[in-house]
């Protein structure tokens, strides 16, 4: 199948199959949009009952068109489309956009119909957008195959959406706002072309500066991450994921499984690939606009210029929450500001020029800050007042910042009074936000992207070596077991170089006494049973046993408590292990996501991991630099690096995470594996797995 998607955006000819002369029909709207925005290619309406529509001669079928057809837009009843698709194949059509619904979104019958179309399209080498979509737009060629009212202005944002309704709402929102798109792409059911395909195509589009996407699901998570990781090195991807709730999720058997839900996998994949995830449609448009209009912030410092204290306070709070700080203005800068502002003005930061501030005062304050300060971001705020002219103030913003390399975002609080000023600022590539608390999110996204771009890309391939060969034999002995406790998981950890606590599996008190003497007190006792997932919940752990008398008592009480709490469990003895008192406890785990693959977790260990949620996630494979960033995102990581004055062996922790990731890549039958706790010793002393469990598919 040909992979050239340019026929969707730069076709030399378009056939509208199912075109109607009835202005109330969607297909009439498509033909009208196609004809009125400057598209210079040939247009062929297909309708056996009409001679012409909108001045274009009609043809009975696509095969009756006397010239080549690059793109077909199909809007017909679902049951007719398979035959029409075959006719397109016979005609040599390169690409089809299927607007019609009635496919997998309606159930099993529609799903079968869609599968038949997919097979036919593949056999004929036709690329498909849809079905159940609203079409696409290329503002630079004038191509508009949608039935959406209005055409976006030309700009640098490519908007990709799995929802056609979102496309329509976004276009209506930005019309006459001075926000421009390069492309608008509705993907619908994604029978063939996916959001990943479009992101890959748009990476090389010269008119696209930022890709904004609305998605509800991603079909091939691994490919998405590979493509997105490449594209985000060239241009930003801003993404809104819908369907985040996980109500009704099944109970899981480990801390990792409990914390690593499907939405966590999506967010982890986005973060790891450099994709900027936002939480609302408003943020999606705001952040995309800022990326299109402005340079990236140089640092996390900002200066606020305002005529109102309340909005400036809200803006300051929003900046602080998202890691931005108000820059300190020197005494010299403040003294110069006083020479041109109201004597009662506040010349610290925020620079509050009071309610009567006019365009000259805004211009003066901006000019002084740019000349005297090396702060990265300029944030002028205007609340409309009776004697203030918003357009004149906007002109001052433009004039004073147009030659600056600083990031500039304006806040104009209001609607009716600032529409003209807002349009003027957007036309001059200064984004306007009407709610001050939104600016922190925008700047945080921009700075995060800058920092991501500055990171080395790294080599993420993992090498199995002899570890996998030895582990194959280990798994061959597990038969049909699904849950493996610590006793059975320890040998696999050993094969992958993960140090485990010295221990012995015993089946009676006498052997337990001998094991304790051999290991040396203090020791720990743990119940061994494939029927018990959480030993502590079942009363199956005894800690810090310091002599034989204590051991005998602990052994008997452990068995009694476990039998009382889990009478149906089959008990297989106890593990006697060396007790480690020193060191910090962390958790390392892996849960395999059905879409993105092995998702690794690191965080605070022990029984409190779910209470504090001090965890970070990554999807394997990983390089060591990424693993260290994963560790540093948590409080546990800061503790290991000396938060309490003692440095611990962080490199040993990173090696365990890497080994667990390699294990998960090597053996796809591992659904979950968890080391909790991993005892981390002081610098260069290593780390020891004190407990582990594994679940197999």
pLDDT digits (tens, 9 = 90+) for 6-58: 999 999 999 999 999 999 999 999 999 999 999 999 999 999 999 999 999 99
pLDDT of residue 536 exceeding 90, the answer is: no
Q: What is the mean pLDDT of residues 685-694?
A: 95
Per DSSP (E only), the strands in 481-604 are 483-484, 503-506, 523-527, 541-545, 574-578, 584-593, 597-604
Candidates 224, 136, 132, 142; CA nearest to 186 is 136
- Report the pLDDT value the prediction gives residue 39, as an integer from 0 to 100: 97
Q: Locate CATH 3.40.50.720 in the chain.
A: 5-208
324-357: b (≥16 Cβ within 10 Å) or e: bebbebeeebbebbeeebeeebbbebbbbbbeeb
Between 532 and 565, the more confident residue is: 565
Residue 163 has pLDDT above 50, yes or no: yes
Give 477's pLDDT tier (boundaries 50, 70, 90): confident
Buried/exposed 388-424: b ≥16 CB within 10 Å, e otherwise? bebbebbbbbbebbeeeebbbbbbbbeeebbeebbbb
Q: Tokens representing 50?
A: 């009409």
Pick the CATH number of 502-579 from 3.20.20.140, 3.40.50.300, 3.20.20.80, 3.30.1490.20: 3.30.1490.20
Q: Can you tell me the distance from the alpha carbon of 614 to that of 608, in angstroms, rounded to the nearest whole number?
A: 9
Above 80 in pLDDT, residue 608? no
CA angle 438, 440, 441 (to 5 degrees): 70
E-assigned strand segments in 528-583: 541-545, 574-578
Structure tokens at 1: 């199948």
Chain centroid to CA 605 = 26
Is the pLDDT at 260 greater than 60? The verdict is no
Average pLDDT over residues 465-469: 74
Count of residues for the chain?
Answer: 697
Angstrom distances, CA of residue 55 to CA of 45, 50, 166, 209: 10, 11, 32, 37
- Whether residue 412 is predicted with pLDDT greater than 60 in this model: the reply is yes
Q: Looking at residue 361, what is its pLDDT?
A: 97
**Mean pLDDT, range 286-290, rounded to an integer:** 98
Helix, strand or coil, per DSSP, at residue 346 = strand
Q: How far apart are CA 607 and CA 629, in angstroms?
A: 24
Could you give the CA distance from residue 299 to residue 306 in angstroms, rounded to a whole number? 21
Check whether 564 has a pLDDT greater than 70. Answer: yes
Band of residue 105 on the pLDDT scale cut at 50, 70, 90? confident
Look up tokens 């993960």; give the residue.
Answer: 498
For 199, the token pair is 């992101």
Q: Is 675 helix (H, G, I), strand (E, B) or coil?
A: strand
CA distance 59 to 49: 9
Which pLDDT value is given to residue 467? 78
The pLDDT of 338-362, averaged and rounded, is 95
> Which DSSP category does 497 fall into?
T
Average pLDDT over residues 146-152: 95
Of the candidates 174, 167, 173, 175, the residue with the CA atom closest to the CA atom of residue 147 = 167
The closest alpha carbon to 183, from 169, 199, 172, 194, belongs to 199
Residue 123's pLDDT is: 94
Q: Does domain 5-208 have CATH number 3.40.50.150?
A: no
Name the pTM for this structure.
0.92
Looking at residue 535, its pLDDT comes to 87
Mean pLDDT of 678-693: 95
Which residue in this structure is represented by tokens 């009776």? 386
Average of per-residue pLDDT across 153-181: 94
Dist CA 342 CA 95 (whole Å): 64
- Average pLDDT, integer, range 600-624: 85
What's residue 257's pLDDT?
47
> Looking at residue 261, what is its pLDDT?
59
Residue pair 682/696 in contact by the 8 Å Cβ criterion: no
Q: CATH 3.30.1490.20 in the chain: give the residue spans.
A: 502-579
CA of 52: how far to CAs of 12, 186, 628, in Å? 20, 28, 66
Look at residues 613, 608, 682 and name the one whose alpha carbon lies nearest to residue 642: 682
- Residue 430 to residue 259: CA distance in whole angstroms: 41
Taking phi first (over 0 means left), then psi (-120 to 50 degrees means alpha), and beta for anything else, what does residue 439 get? alpha
Which tokens belong to 465?
């070596």
Yes or no: say if 643 and 680 are a contact pair by the CB < 8 Å rule. Answer: no
Task: Tell me which of 64-73, 112-121, 195-204, 636-645 is least confident.
Answer: 636-645
Q: Is the pLDDT of residue 276 over 50?
A: yes
d(CA 238, CA 444): 13
Task: Name the residue among 497, 472, 463, 493 with its Cα closest to residue 669.
Answer: 472
Share of the chain above pLDDT 90, in %: 84
Q: Is the pLDDT at 195 greater than 60, yes or no?
A: yes
Confidence label for 245 from pLDDT (cuts 50, 70 and 90):
low
**How far is 670 from 667, CA to CA, in rounded Å?**
6
Among candidate residues 595, 580, 596, the one with its CA nearest the CA of residue 687: 580
In the prediction, which pLDDT does 469 show?
82
**In the Cβ-directed half-sphere of 668, how many Cα atoms lie within 13 Å?**
5
Residue range 676-696: mean pLDDT, rounded: 94
Q: What is the pLDDT of residue 498?
A: 96
CA distance 283 to 442: 7
Quick one: CA dihedral 673, 674, 679, 681, positive or negative? positive
pLDDT greater than 60 at residue 322: yes
Q: Is the pLDDT of residue 532 over 90?
A: no
Instruction: Supply 134's token pair.
Output: 């609203």
The rounded radius of gyration (Å) of the Cα atoms in the chain is 31
Task: Report the alpha-carbon distance of residue 380 to residue 404 in Å, rounded.
Answer: 14
- Position 253 confidence tier, pLDDT thresholds 50, 70, 90: very low
Q: What is the pLDDT of residue 211?
A: 98
182's tokens:
């390069």
Average pLDDT of the residues in 423-434: 97
Q: What is the mean pLDDT of the chain?
A: 92
Confidence of residue 252 (pLDDT cuts 50, 70, 90): very low
Q: Which two tokens stand for residue 497?
A: 């170089």
Q: Which residue has the higher pLDDT, 88 or 252?
A: 88
Q: Are 615 and 582 in contact (CB under 8 A)?
A: no
Q: For 299-432, CATH number?
A: 3.40.50.261
Parallel, antiparallel, or unpaired for β 153-161 and 180-186? parallel
pLDDT of residue 459: 61
548-561 average pLDDT score = 96
Q: What is the pLDDT of residue 259?
A: 55
Is residue 4 classed as helix, strand or coil in its secondary structure? Answer: coil
Given a cut of 50, whether residue 200 has pLDDT beyond it is: yes
Q: At the topology level of CATH, where does 584-696 sit?
A: D-amino Acid Aminotransferase; Chain A, domain 1 (3.30.470)
Give start-end residues of each CATH 3.40.50.261 domain in the chain: 299-432
Asked whether the predicted pLDDT for residue 92 surpasses 70, the reply is: yes
């Amino acid at each position: 199948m040909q992979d050239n998607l340019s026929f969707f955006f730069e076709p030399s000819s378009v056939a509208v199959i199912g075109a109607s002369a009835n202005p109330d029909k969607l297909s009439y709207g498509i033909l009208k949009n196609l004809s009125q925005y400057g598209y210079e290619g040939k247009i062929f309406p297909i309708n056996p009952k009409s001679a012409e529509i909108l001045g274009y001669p009609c043809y009975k079928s696509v095969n009756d068109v006397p010239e080549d057809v690059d793109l077909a837009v199909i809007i017909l009843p679902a049951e007719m489309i398979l035959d029409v698709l075959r006719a397109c194949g016979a005609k040599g059509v390169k690409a089809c956009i299927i607007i019609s619904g009635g496919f997998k979104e309606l159930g099993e019958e529609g799903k079968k119909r869609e599968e038949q179309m997919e097979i036919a399209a593949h056999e004929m080498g036709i690329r498909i957008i849809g079905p159940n979509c609203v079409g696409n737009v290329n503002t630079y060629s004038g191509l508009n195959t949608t039935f959406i009212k209005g055409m976006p202005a030309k700009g640098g944002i490519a908007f990709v959406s799995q929802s056609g309704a979102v496309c329509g709402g976004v276009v209506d929102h930005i019309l006459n706002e001075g926000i421009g798109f390069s492309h608008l792409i509705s993907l619908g059911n994604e029978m063939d072309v996916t959001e990943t395909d479009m992101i890959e195509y748009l990476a090389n589009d010269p008119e696209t500066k930022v890709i904004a996407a609305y998605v509800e699901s991603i079909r091939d998570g691994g490919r998405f991450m590979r493509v997105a990781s490449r594209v985000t090195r060239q241009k930003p991807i801003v993404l809104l994921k819908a369907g985040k709730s996980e109500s009704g999720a099944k109970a899981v058997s480990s801390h990792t499984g409990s914390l690593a839900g499907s939405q966590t996998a999506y967010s982890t994949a986005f973060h790891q690939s450099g994709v900027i995830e936002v939480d609302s449609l408003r943020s999606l448009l705001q952040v995309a606009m800022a990326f299109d209009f402005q340079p990236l912030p140089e640092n996390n410092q900002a200066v606020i210029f305002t005529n109102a204290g309340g909005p400036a306070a809200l803006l300051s709070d929003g900046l602080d929450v998202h890691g931005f700080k108000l820059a300190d203005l020197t005494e010299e800068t403040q003294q110069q500001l006083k020479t041109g502002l109201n004597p009662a003005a506040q010349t610290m930061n925020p620079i509050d020029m009071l309610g009567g501030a006019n365009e000259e005062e805004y211009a003066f304050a901006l000019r002084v800050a740019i000349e005297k300060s090396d702060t990265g971001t300029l944030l002028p705020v205007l609340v409309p007042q009776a004697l203030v002219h918003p357009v004149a103030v906007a002109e001052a913003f433009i004039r004073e910042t147009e030659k600056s390399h600083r990031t500039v975002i304006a806040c104009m609080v209001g609607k009716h009074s600032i529409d003209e000023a807002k349009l003027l600022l957007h036309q001059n590539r200064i984004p306007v936000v009407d709610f001050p608390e939104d600016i922190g999110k925008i700047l945080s996204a921009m700075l995060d992207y800058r920092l991501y771009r500055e990171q080395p890309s790294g080599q993420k391939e993992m090498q199995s070596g002899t570890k996998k060969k030895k582990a194959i034999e280990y798994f061959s002995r597990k038969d049909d077991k699904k849950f493996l406790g610590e006793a059975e998981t320890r040998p696999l950890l050993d094969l992958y170089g993960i140090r485990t606590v010295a221990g012995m599996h015993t089946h009676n008190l006498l052997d337990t006494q001998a094991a304790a003497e051999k290991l040396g007190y203090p020791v720990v006792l743990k119940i061994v049973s494939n029927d018990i997932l959480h030993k502590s919940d079942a009363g199956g752990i005894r800690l810090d046993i310091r002599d034989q008398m204590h051991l005998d008592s602990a052994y008997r009480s452990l068995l009694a408590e476990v039998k009382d709490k889990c009478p149906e469990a089959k008990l297989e003895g106890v593990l006697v292990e060396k007790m480690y008192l020193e060191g910090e406890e962390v958790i390392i785990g892996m849960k395999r996501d059905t879409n993105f693959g092995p998702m690794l977790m690191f965080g605070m260990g022990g029984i409190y991991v779910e209470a504090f949620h001090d965890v970070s996630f990554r999807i394997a494979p990983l390089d060591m630099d990424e693993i260290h960033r994963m560790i540093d995102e948590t409080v546990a990581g800061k503790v290991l690096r000396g938060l309490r004055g003692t440095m611990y062996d962080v490199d040993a922790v990173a090696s365990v995470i890497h080994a667990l990731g390699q294990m998960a890549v090597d053996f796809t039958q591992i659904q979950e594996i968890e080391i909790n706790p991993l005892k981390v010793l002081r610098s260069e002393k290593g780390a020891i797995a004190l407990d582990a469990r594994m679940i197999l598919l």
